[in-house]
Structure 1
Amino acid sequence: MEKNSLLLPLFCALFLTPFFHGGLFASAFGVKDGSEQWGYIRVRPKAHMFWWLYKSPNRVNDPSKPWPIVLWLQGGPGASGVGIGNFEEVGPLDTFLNPRNSTWLQKTDLLFVDNPVGTGYSFVEDESALVKTDDEAALDLTTLLMKIFNRNKSLQNRVLYIVAESYGGKYAVTTALTALKAIESGMLKLKLGGVALGDSWISPEDFVLSWGPLLKDVSRLDNNGLAKSNRLARLIKQQLADGQFVEATNSWGQLEQVISDNSNNVDFYNFLLDNGMDPISTVSALQSTKGISLNRYSRYLNSRKFSPGGDGDLDTLMNDVIRRKLRIIPANVTWGSQSSQVFSSLEGDFMKPRIHEVDELLAKGVNVTVYNGQIDLICSTKGTEAWIQKLKWHGLKEFLSLDRTPLYCGNDTRTRGFTKSHKNLHFYWILGAGHFKLICFGGNVKAHIELIILQTLASWPILLWPQARYISAGHLASAFGTADGSEEWGYVEVRPKAHMFWWHYKSPYRVDDPSKPWPIILWLQGGPDSPVGTGYSYVEDVNLAVKTDEDAATDVTTLLKELFNGNKTLQESPLYIVAESYGGKFAVTLGLSALKAIEDGTLKLKFGGVALGDSWISPEDYVESWGPLLKTVSRINNGALTTSNSLVQEIRQQISGGLFEEATETWGELENVISNGSNDVDFYNFMLDSDSDPVSVVSALPTRMSTDISYSSYLDYRKSLSASSSAGLPALMNGVIRDKLKIIPAKVSWGGQDGIVFPAMAGDFMKPRIDEVDELLAIGVNVTVYNGQVDLICATPGTEAWIEKLKWGDLNKFLSMDRTPLYCDVSGGEHVTKAFTKSYMNFHFYWILGAGHFVPVDQPCMSLKMIGSITQSPN
């Protein structure tokens, strides 16, 4: 498919327009070169609206393509477009008065208005003059447009586009209809090009109903929080149906508090963050309120208190430098001082939907563009898609049936968005953006969230010495190590002609405390790529590759016997099996195999427990989660969701019928459908494309011809990881590391037999291992589950689904518990939520925020804290 690299800039240019000459209004001022003009218009007695018009320096005079004007409408209600929209989002200067290289003036003139009266510099002389409805605000704006346009023929020759954000979307649709009526009656002389609704509060009911399920899907709510949220959302729905709009506004405030309390203060403008860490919203944590909680919407009114990366205080800027520049602000008017009254005055209209107005605009042929940030919560994409499906517009069915087109920025091949259009309705899904999503103009974007966490690679020892024993038994003829005893490695022949490689590191942080033995972690990778035939492990005959998880567990148990049985020092340290991905299936089968060996006296070790990291325990539950999750985060549309769900049903039937190899084949087909329908989403981080995650570093999934090809996306996931080698991890392992180890047979290359392991296990790959987890819990073994928030292959909703299938006697008590938020460096003043956890008896769960499939890489600090807790490390 040809990449549509021009569409995003064109999208931004859609809403585009002119400038007019001074002297038309007694209160109008401007700069000498005519590039700016501002002033007040009395829209009603005692109601004064402030406006500010910028003329683009890039303006092109072409009669066939009139230069556009954007009327920017801020949300709130009560947030200042002149302040927030101008200095924090799209205007020519930022809050430090430095030029913004992403200003929309590159494509259009900009008209900022402090709307409704009482917002920003706009003011009323009497509170009774504040508007109480969106329609009243629309009348005021239409009056302002009449005053600005009707006496200026230059402006009348251009096209006005109304672009709105958040609550401003309700103003946009009501103003457009009012303006059209005035145009038709001859009272307003302008050309209306269309409206653009950015994360707009068009249907409050649909948004509040989406909050709980969305936050549950991305690990910010548990089942308890979801139940509380859904109860209030249903109450709001009933209140709206009964016309109790003020009561619904009050319940909305209560719901926000419940969401905040149960998510540990999620950011309502970026659900991947806490509400104090988003450089866009920069809001303080919600505080408990009593009665009507209208003031809690101040999180939006104060959303741009400081600019990213510095001390740019918007209040100070607007009430000092900018006020002095403008020269016409009355002495008794303070920027933003009446904003809270604006919201209170509109409390009866705040929760009213405006879907009907969108329908009316579409019916009249007006261009309506909807755009939504992928990680917005307050006006979530799920909620937006829900209200769009309620439209009565005659073209809706055709619109919904269309496939989406991926969007890119310039030469950047990463997927930045999706779009589809039919007639005069256009929708943009903007990836990586929250409530404030201005990605069209490239990298200097305030709403940009850094999703990629860089990995630091450890350096390897240079001085190498063979035969340096620290496993004292001495019966492993192929064991080598470093001179200081900190490392040892070797081969164990676990079966005739089946050789397993191991590498043991001794911690430099080790504390010798008899009351708290220093733990050992056995790390099991996924793939499946832990059995013989993986990495440096090898078989002399391909027929010796294991075919089941139990076979693999037996081999590793044999290895543990060789390592532990003759070494009393190791026997004193508890062993914890920590697994990632498919390694989780090895972990639980190995746990049971090792326990049996311990009980019959053939294995001498202390077993501490198992930890299952993003583990492939129940393939059925994971594949069932993929489609809905990707739909939730805007990576697939309804068509791909339907195709995905159809294949999932086939997989379920195959697993139920014991057709596991067939299920593996269908799984490969499903991955291909997901890849094609999502424009190659990364299966290890659903916020990224498959080739843009420096951790997984996987190529776009190819058309699936066979399952061994399809799983190469995991086997190759570290292809280019090494910072010291341009050829990546294979070159490192087959070069410097091989030279260091000295014992790798000449005919063995690292990863050389990987291709035989997965096909050999095709009949076991899709088998669930829930029963094994149950058995471990029943025995009393500590079982820890941890999952990365943005993993797809082993998605958190899938993990939660299989956990709910456990027959463990204490499951209901575990599920009923609330979660505890976790932080990394509280002593250093950091209070950013990094994870949630809850534990009951011997079962423990960690939800790791901001992490994908590879939790130790994505969240190293939280990973280290978690493993210390799991192993009860004395350090």
Structure 2
Amino acid sequence: MEKPVAKPKSNLSSYYPSKTIIIAIAISIIIILAIIIPIVIVFGKPYQLQGTSSVTDSYSPSQTTSNPTTATTTVPSSSSQTSYKPILSIPDELWGYYEVRPGAHMFWWFYGYRGSQLRSQMPLILWMSGGPGYSSVGKGNFGQVGPIQLDLKPRNKTLIKRANVLFIDYPVGTGFSYVDKMSAYSRSDNEVAQDLYRTFAHVLHLLPSLQLLPFHLVAESYGGKIGSMFGNLLLQAKKEGRIQCNFISCILSSPLLSTADTIEFAGPYLNAFSLIDAMQSQQLLNQANSIKQYLQQKRGIDATAVLEQSLERMVNISSKANLHNVINYLSENPFTTLVKRNYTDIQSLQNNPTIAPTAAYAVMNNQIRHKLGIVPRHVKFASSNILVYALLRESICYPSIANAEAILNANVSVLIINGQFDAFVNGISLQKTIKKINWPYMKLFQSSKKAVMKDDAGRIVGFIKKYRNLSFMTMIDKGHSPILSVPDSYIGSVNLHATITSNKSVSVFIDTQIHASVARIIL
């Protein structure tokens, strides 16, 4: 029998590295983690989007070349992930197209902050105009808060002196956004919000440095409705890990969250101004009830038709008061055209889809178009697109209260601004709409005291009510666009720039054309 062989005793020191080697390995691991972790944080998880991206770097207005540097990336239809090269630094200016769906091309324009601070330390703002069908690039950028005015002169009080700003022409077919075929137009508000989200996510993936910046959504009128839907989509995507975004606040200026509420309380509002009598107020209430019934029956187009008739009636019975500012009057009723238009004749609308550009917007089809260098020849910029509006009439009247509710309950700061003389989204209806939001602190918000807002000269310019992350602001003597620079024909027009300085405070800068003074309110 073979004897077992005795195994020699092991020398443990020969199996373990020395202390010097252990320390060296530990230091190496720490260095590797220090490099990898920031990259993971900045780039996050890949965006599950499809589309084609055409990106153009900005260049000096003095340059006249029509071929600026471009970088185009195509994502195969079988792929669910974009694969373009990110731009790590925040540029002065950048614009491009993104194909959100086959044949649907969304145009976006980004401006980097221009001031004494680092761009990486300043917030990101998405500025949304209303409509549906009004261009955020034309109205919001050149008409209101961008660095250049429609007369191509620099704007002194531009928002890019306070933040990085993004404008997106939505829905497709608006401004410089376009479609290759009729079927690519948006047919619902939900599709509009999804297209907007895809474009926004594309920009954040292209400029990953924006992902960590405090993000603030600013939207007016109908944009407030789409903005609340977009904000809800953004929160869902963030929760699912599909996007990296530091969503801090949502600022809604005269948001059209419920058309039925707007018409229901338009009567009492106009009656309080002695613009209509009690019988006329009841007629508007009857129309509001019709809108509600049609929505319950899922007859959105019929509801929108009643809305158009209601708006026309409001102007006629109030001796043509301007619904955007009731202390001004109109020579003609702008809603009569909406009521009389044949929306079933899509062919006619397709041949003449846009409202003729004003003289001011002619610059968009000339100097601005030439500067961009990527707008297809067949795309003509106009202030709004009737075809876009016509194809969305089915969904226009459906409320978006639940989306605003989701944003508020996600602990995102929500600021709702109303103009005292706005009959289109009147203050009575807006406060009733807010009460419908299911939020644990709504009763405490309703019972909280309002604070007086004063300018530097001590003049009262508005009132504000606030509790936790919900604020409601009423601007005195202002109309439908209290957050924007409105036309000179509006009395007491306001240019209000909202910039979030931290997670808990909002600095609102108000420049009134009447007093030429600035008020600063810390919420």
TM, length-normalised to structure 1: 0.44
Matched, 1:364 2:438: no
Q: 1:302 to 1:428 in 2, by over 3 A?
A: farther
Counterpart of 1:94 in structure 2: which amino acid?
Q
Q: Describe how 1:140-155 pairs up with structure 2 within 5 A.
A: 140-155=195-210
Counterpart of 1:418 in structure 2: which amino acid?
F
Matched, 1:430 2:485: no
Q: Describe how 1:121-520 pairs up with structure 2 within 5 A.
A: 121-275=176-330, 285-287=334-336, 313-336=359-382, 339-409=385-455, 411-438=456-483, 446=487, 449-450=490-491
Contact 1:418–1:430 (8 Å) recurs in 2: yes
Q: 1:303 to 1:344 in 2, by over 3 A?
A: closer
The CA deviation at 1:199 is: 0.4
Q: Which moved more, 1:150-159 or 1:161-170?
A: 150-159
Matched, 1:86 2:131: no
Counterpart in the other structure of 1:669: none
Q: Describe how 1:464-863 pairs up with structure 2 within 5 A.
A: none
Q: 1:352 to 1:289 in 2, by over 3 A?
A: closer
The CA deviation at 1:220 is: 2.1
Q: What is the SS of the residue equivalent to 1:349?
A: coil
Counterpart of 2:336 in structure 1: which amino acid?
Q
The CA deviation at 1:265 is: 1.9
Taking the aligned partners of 2:303 and 2:285, their CA distance within structure 1 comes to 14
The CA deviation at 1:98 is: 2.0
Q: What is the SS of the residue equivalent to 1:387?
A: helix
Contact 2:135–2:384 (8 Å) recurs in 1: no
Contact 2:478–2:491 (8 Å) recurs in 1: no
The CA deviation at 1:74 is: 1.2
Q: What is the SS of the residue equivalent to 2:187?
A: coil
The CA deviation at 1:293 is: 7.0
Taking the aligned partners of 1:160 and 1:190, their CA distance within structure 2 comes to 7
Q: 1:429 to 1:449 in 2, by over 3 A?
A: same
Counterpart of 1:414 in structure 2: which amino acid?
R
Higher RCO (C-alpha 8 Å, min separation 6) = 2
The CA deviation at 1:180 is: 1.7
Taking the aligned partners of 2:330 and 2:355, their CA distance within structure 1 comes to 10
Taking the aligned partners of 1:291 and 1:343, their CA distance within structure 2 comes to 14
Counterpart in the other structure of 2:503: none
Q: 1:38 aligns with which of 57, 80, 95?
A: 95
Q: 2:105 aligns with which of 48, 51, 66?
A: 48
The CA deviation at 1:384 is: 0.7
Q: 1:288 to 1:116 in 2, by over 3 A?
A: closer
Q: 1:438 to 1:233 in 2, by over 3 A?
A: same
Q: What is the SS of the residue equivalent to 1:27?
A: strand
Q: 1:132 to 1:62 in 2, by over 3 A?
A: closer
Q: 1:87 to 1:288 in 2, by over 3 A?
A: closer
Contact 2:215–2:246 (8 Å) recurs in 1: yes
Higher-strand-fraction structure: 2
Taking the aligned partners of 2:469 and 2:383, their CA distance within structure 1 comes to 39
- The Cα offsets for residues 797-851 of structure 1, whole Å up to 9 and x where unpaired, read as xxxxxxxxxxxxxxxxxxxxxxxxxxxxxxxxxxxxxxxxxxxxxxxxxxxxxxx
The CA deviation at 1:367 is: 1.6
Q: Which entry has the higher C-alpha Rg, 1 or 2?
A: 1
Unaligned 5+ residue runs, structure 2?
1-51, 62-90, 494-514, 516-523
Q: What is the SS of the residue equivalent to 2:460?
A: coil
Q: What is the SS of the residue equivalent to 2:234?
A: helix
How many residue pairs align between the two structures? Answer: 408
Matched, 1:29 2:57: yes
Contact 2:478–2:492 (8 Å) recurs in 1: no
TM, length-normalised to structure 2: 0.72
The CA deviation at 1:130 is: 1.3
Contact 1:27–1:40 (8 Å) recurs in 2: yes
- The Cα offsets for residues 701-741 of structure 1, whole Å up to 9 and x where unpaired, read as xxxxxxxxxxxxxxxxxxxxxxxxxxxxxxxxxxxxxxxxx
Q: What is the SS of the residue equivalent to 2:378?
A: coil
The CA deviation at 1:291 is: 5.9
Q: 1:451 to 1:391 in 2, by over 3 A?
A: closer
Counterpart in the other structure of 1:822: none
Contact 2:111–2:164 (8 Å) recurs in 1: yes
Taking the aligned partners of 1:303 and 1:93, their CA distance within structure 2 comes to 23
The CA deviation at 1:95 is: 1.8
Q: What is the SS of the residue equivalent to 1:43?
A: strand
Contact 1:253–1:294 (8 Å) recurs in 2: no
Taking the aligned partners of 1:104 and 1:304, their CA distance within structure 2 comes to 28
Taking the aligned partners of 2:280 and 2:228, their CA distance within structure 1 comes to 34
Taking the aligned partners of 1:252 and 1:172, their CA distance within structure 2 comes to 21
Q: What root-mean-square deviation, in Å, do the aligned CA atoms of Structure 1 and Structure 2 show?
A: 3.0
Q: Which moved more, 1:197-206 or 1:334-343?
A: 334-343
The CA deviation at 1:25 is: 5.4
The CA deviation at 1:260 is: 2.1
Contact 1:433–1:447 (8 Å) recurs in 2: no
- The Cα offsets for residues 489-538 of structure 1, whole Å up to 9 and x where unpaired, read as xxxxxxxxxxxxxxxxxxxxxxxxxxxxxxxxxxxxxxxxxxxxxxxxxx
Contact 1:78–1:340 (8 Å) recurs in 2: yes
Q: 1:115 to 1:180 in 2, by over 3 A?
A: same
Q: 1:314 to 1:416 in 2, by over 3 A?
A: same
Q: 1:447 to 1:338 in 2, by over 3 A?
A: closer
Q: 1:438 to 1:169 in 2, by over 3 A?
A: closer
The CA deviation at 1:190 is: 2.1
Q: 1:184 to 1:416 in 2, by over 3 A?
A: same
Q: 1:168 to 1:41 in 2, by over 3 A?
A: same
Q: Which moved more, 1:130-139 or 1:395-404?
A: 130-139
Matched, 1:110 2:165: yes
Unaligned 5+ residue runs, structure 1?
1-23, 277-282, 307-312, 453-691, 693-875
Taking the aligned partners of 2:357 and 2:444, their CA distance within structure 1 comes to 43
Taking the aligned partners of 2:488 and 2:450, their CA distance within structure 1 comes to 23
Counterpart in the other structure of 2:9: none
The CA deviation at 1:294 is: 6.4
Taking the aligned partners of 2:308 and 2:288, their CA distance within structure 1 comes to 11
Q: 1:290 to 1:350 in 2, by over 3 A?
A: closer
Taking the aligned partners of 1:289 and 1:196, their CA distance within structure 2 comes to 29
Counterpart in the other structure of 1:57: 114
The CA deviation at 1:125 is: 0.8
Taking the aligned partners of 2:343 and 2:328, their CA distance within structure 1 comes to 23
